[in-house]
């Protein structure tokens, strides 16, 4: 079992210990142990079906909605065990936001998409909602493009704009961690560059964990990289080290395109 511990350069935000995950009788993750540093970008790489997205969804218990799943081991966020029987899942998902591979705006206005989360958590003041919407869209680098048409349907936005809207929607509830599951895989190069620039800006305020199949993207946007293979963490370390001097031949073979 490979373990990776934060070397102390940054505070640990998420501590994962001996994590196993099962879909019914099928084990998908095996003994995952890692520390995810605070306010850094951690990229999860590996071939399709290796457990990256499954692992990502364990961090906000999104897998709970799938019947028959089971988790053993421990995930601590700020020292609190999120799989403790007393853990509040609603509170967890407010703290740990998520952006999916395919943009999924609600069939509502741009404004209502961003205001949805704060409304759900009890914000009723129109003025406060307007402030949240402007702040969130600004953080998602979308405000200048949509500020004069907030009442327009989100479905009228381009694909790249829709994905940034989904990021704004996630940011509106003030999470501390942002999970991104291949957020740019369906976008053209120009829109992808905007998402990558946005990630670079956001990491000073948020802990970001991103799943990507794009090796160049992982090298560009992340501080740390974790390589998964067949449900196991093979290696994790500083991105520069993983891409220039990996410790395992399997990691090198994947990064150089010999398999995957």
H/E run at residue 207: strand 207-211
pLDDT of residue 200: 94
User: Is the entire prediction scored with pTM above 0.95?
Assistant: no
Taking the C-alpha atoms of residue 72 and residue 57, their distance in angstroms, rounded to an integer, is 14
Q: What is the Rg, in whole angstroms, of the alpha carbon atoms belonging to the chain?
A: 18
What sign results for the dihedral spanned by CA atoms 25, 26, 31, 37?
negative
Confidence of residue 260 (pLDDT cuts 50, 70, 90): low
Q: What confidence tens digit (pLDDT) does each residue in 75-121 have?
A: 999 999 999 988 899 999 999 999 998 889 999 999 999 999 999 98
pLDDT of residue 87: 86
* Spatial CB neighbours of 135, under 8 Å, sequence gap ≥ 6: none
């Amino acid at each position: 079992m490979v373990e990776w511990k934060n070397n102390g350069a940054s505070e640990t935000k998420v501590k994962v210990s001996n994590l196993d995950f099962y879909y019914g009788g099928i084990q998908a993750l095996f003994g995952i142990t890692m520390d995810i540093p605070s306010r850094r970008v951690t990229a999860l790489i590996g071939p399709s079906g290796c457990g990256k997205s499954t692992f990502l969804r364990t961090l906000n218990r999104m897998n709970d909605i799938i019947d028959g799943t089971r988790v053993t081991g421990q995930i601590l966020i700020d020292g609190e065990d999120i799989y403790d029987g007393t853990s509040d899942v609603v509170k967890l998902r407010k703290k740990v936001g998520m952006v999916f591979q395919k943009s999924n705006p609600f069939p509502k206005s741009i404004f209502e998409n961003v205001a949805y989360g704060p409304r759900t958590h009890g914000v009723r003041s129109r003025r406060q909602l307007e402030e949240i919407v402007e702040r969130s869209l600004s953080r998602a680098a979308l405000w200048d493009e949509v500020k004069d048409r907030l009442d327009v349907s989100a479905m009228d936005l381009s694909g790249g704009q829709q994905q940034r809207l989904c990021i704004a929607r996630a940011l509106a509830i003030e999470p501390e961690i942002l999970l991104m599951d291949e957020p740019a895989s369906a976008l053209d190069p120009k829109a992808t560059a905007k998402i990558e620039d946005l990630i670079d800006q956001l990491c000073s305020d948020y802990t970001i964990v991103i799943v990507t199949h794009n090796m160049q993207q992982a090298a560009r946007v992340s501080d740390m990289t974790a390589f998964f293979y067949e449900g196991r963490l093979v290696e994790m370390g500083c991105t520069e080290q993983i891409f220039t001097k990996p410790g395992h031949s399997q990691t090198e073979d994947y990064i150089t395109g010999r398999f995957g």
